[in-house]
Amino acid sequence: MPERLIQVSIPAQQLALTRGEKPLAIYPVSTALNGPGERHASGCTPRGWHRIRVKIGAGLPPDTVFVGRRPTGEIYSPELAARYPKRDWILTRILWLTGLEPGYNRGGDCDTLRRFIYIHGCPDTAPMGIPLSHGCIRMRNRDLLALFEQVAAGDRVFVAG
């Protein structure tokens, strides 16, 4: 069976899930406000080849709030957002990425895993198709739930910028 691949286009602000040459789904995303880049503390979305290191949040309710990759016990709501206006909301599920290219997105001051770069959910009111994240790849919660069920740890991710 052909391998699953996630392809993220920073210019198009889209994520495509494919199996071999066959597209399975295409979703709008929001990548980094600071654009593409691999350096630590840049606030940029890293490019190149990655793998899903770990899937986090299976079985939890949609809109589960995560801090440090752990569920807080909170469920996102407009009231919660009003109470914490400065939070970078990481919701529903997390696909934590690890770089595969030493010196580019793996190791040293360009390590995707140590930069805590994820594909994750965000508030449904957050715009998609516009770069606004702090480096991660944000998705609509319903889209992320669908993607999460179709991928596995170890699946490859290519981020084009």
- DSSP E strand boundaries for the chain: 4-9, 14-19, 22-28, 48-56, 64-67, 70-75, 90-99, 118-121, 137-139, 156-160
* Residue pLDDT, tens place only, 78-135: 999 999 999 999 999 999 999 999 999 999 999 999 999 999 999 999 999 999 999 9
Q: At residue 1, does pLDDT exceed 80? A: no
What's the pLDDT at 160?
A: 97
Position 2 pLDDT exceeds 80: no
**pLDDT for 45-87, tens place per residue?**
999 999 999 999 999 999 999 999 999 999 999 999 999 999 9
Q: How many domains is the chain partitioned into structurally?
A: 1
Instruction: Give residue 21's pLDDT band: very low, low, confident or very high (50, 70, 90).
Output: confident
pLDDT of residue 43: 96
Range of the domain at 19: 4-160
The sign of the torsion formed by the CA atoms of 27, 33, 36, 37 equals negative
The residue with tokens 């392809």 is 7
Contacts of 105 (CB under 8 A, 6+ apart): 38, 46, 47, 48, 49, 50, 99, 111, 112
CATH number of the domain at 90, please: 2.40.440.10
Give the pTM: 0.96
pLDDT of residue 3: 87
What span, in angstroms and rounded, lies between the C-alpha atoms of 135 and 121?
A: 13
Of how many residues is the chain composed? 161
3-state secondary structure of 155: coil
What pLDDT score was predicted for residue 57?
A: 98
